[in-house]
Amino acid sequence: MTGKQRSNKIQVPQGMFDILPEDQPFYQKVYEVGKKIASFYGFKEITPPILESTELFEKGTGEATEIVEKQMYSLKTKGGDSLTLRPEFTPSLARAYLEQGMISLPQPVKMFSFGPVFRHEKPQAGRYRQFYQLNLEAFGSRHPIVDVEIIYIFYNILQSLGIKKLIIELNSIGDKECIGDYKKLLVRYLKKNESRLCPDCKRRLKTNPLRIMDCKQERCKQIAAGAPQIIDHLCKECHNHFKKVLEFLDELGLPYNLNPCLVRGLDYYTRTVFEIIAEDELGRQIGSLVGGGRYDNLVKLFSRKNIPACGGAAGVERIISIMKERRLVTAEVQPPRVFLAQLGDAAKIKSLKLMEDFRKAGILVAASLDKDSLSAQLKNADKLKASHSLIIGEEEASRDMVIIRDMVNGRQTTVRTDKVAGELKKKLKQQ
């Protein structure tokens, strides 16, 4: 088989992966820390469906964005409906906000989500076709303190996960009027340099010129660096909004950089846009972990209601990559200190009932209920380095008794089944 030929074996789809048992503690840690901090600040958990109407993302994310043009996983149902695996959470939560009548609740309505999203793009290190996001969204307030609250919570989540060296990249892209006026200036400048743009940016010049500002191609980055800066062309209201955001961040003592090339890749953003970047020990940037901003016009795309909003998303796999590299979470599960061995069908049933007693008592127990050989089971106990083995044979099962064997000195005691959990707790404490 040549390198280009694919195996006939059934494999995970390209760009997707199994979350193996040894990786589960990392995902659980990100979720638990995110939920704890978000909940403290009043964000309520919501889980939208993985499949949504394709129109939701075409309208919400923007037809000229790369996500809609190239990256969506879409399908037609037998009934003729066009559905899409969510490429992001924000349009789904805007839809839920409207559909579930959240506009009648005290505003702002603050929500967080955790789960997989799907984008059909070229797989590479740290970039997958199925990946997890932790999202925060707040609907119903224009106040700049909401922008800062979102940034602050994400910053604190990353800090609590042990990622300490962080910098916030900030920009304002103004409102619809500011963007419209600025785009004219930007397009005039970019057309003068069109021949030097990469093929993607030549296309973007006609469809979404703002995206050229955050192109990663070196030649396009050089062109973007000399472009007019939108922050110099904000209306008074947008200027004052951004000024307040910076003042609040200064009061909190959060480190930030003004980045005039930061625009984010989605059509719905207005005013504040941000990313939180991780740095290494030498202060070099090693990756964007969070991105977001304000999107005051998104809800209006689905209704006539003018609802301001702000939010952001954290890339879970990128966070986990740093946690693993810096050994911020141990993925090792504490092995059981007790092994339960049995002989005969009656003993197997007794063992299963007994394990539930241990679960309630908080004692971690291993067992091989499908094995019949006592010696084979005790070998498993040795491999696990269990300090104690519990043995139930046919005689013990009939008498409702259990043998407790100390695996270090070989001593054995026999106790009643209903007393074994308490007796075992005492023995484990003495070690």
Q: Indicate if 116 and 44 belong to the same structural domain.
A: yes
Res 2: pLDDT: 39
- pLDDT at position 371, please? 83
Same domain, 297 and 400: no
Same domain? 353 vs 277 = no
245 in a structural domain: yes
How many domains does the chain contain in total? 2
pLDDT score at 83: 93
- The CATH number covering residue 409 comes to 3.40.50.800
pLDDT of residue 327: 83
What are the distances in angstroms from CA 86 to CA 61, 164, 304? 11, 31, 24
**In a shared domain, residues 426 and 292:** no
Instruction: List the CATH number of the domain containing 308.
Output: 3.30.930.10
**414 and 281, same structural domain?**
no
- My answer on whether 276 and 396 are in the same domain is no
| 204 inside domain | no
Q: In this structure, which long-range contacts are made by residues 423-427, counting pairs with CB atoms below 8 Å and at least 24 apart in sequence?
A: 424/338, 424/358, 424/363, 424/388, 424/390, 425/361, 425/363, 427/388
- Shared-domain flag, residues 402 and 289: no
Phi/psi at 175 (nearest 5 deg)? -100, -170
Residue pointed to by tokens 């403290």? 40
**CB–CB of 235/174 below 8 Å?**
yes
How many residues in the chain?
431
Residue 392 lies in a domain: yes
Range of the domain at 369: 338-430
Same domain, 317 and 345: no
Residues 255, 260: Cα–Cα separation, whole Å: 16
342 and 319 in one domain? Answer: no
Last residue of a domain, one of 271, 302, 325: 325
Same domain, 158 and 279: yes
Give the relative orientation of helices 176-192 and 199-207 as an angle to the nearest 10 degrees. 140
Choose one of 267, 301, 325: the last residue of a domain: 325
Looking at the structure, do residues 257 and 397 belong to the same domain, yes or no?
A: no
Contacts with 338 (C-beta within 8 Å, 6 or more apart), sequence order: 358, 363, 364, 365, 366, 386, 387, 388, 389, 390, 424, 428
pLDDT at 3: 42
pLDDT at 160: 94
- Walk along the chain (431 residues) and give the pLDDT tens digit of each residue: 334 445 568 898 988 999 998 899 999 999 999 999 999 999 999 999 999 999 998 887 666 566 666 688 888 989 889 999 999 999 999 999 999 999 999 999 999 999 999 998 877 776 789 999 999 999 999 999 999 999 999 999 999 999 989 999 999 998 888 877 888 888 888 888 888 888 888 888 887 788 788 777 888 888 888 888 888 889 999 999 999 999 999 999 999 999 988 887 667 788 999 999 998 877 787 889 999 999 998 998 888 888 999 999 999 999 999 999 888 876 556 778 888 888 888 888 888 888 888 888 888 888 888 888 888 888 888 888 888 888 998 888 889 999 998 888 888 889 898 888 888 888 777 76
Determine the longest span between alpha carbons in the chain, in angstroms.
92
Q: What is the pLDDT at residue 308?
A: 95
- Position 365 in a domain: yes
* pLDDT score recorded for residue 8: 67
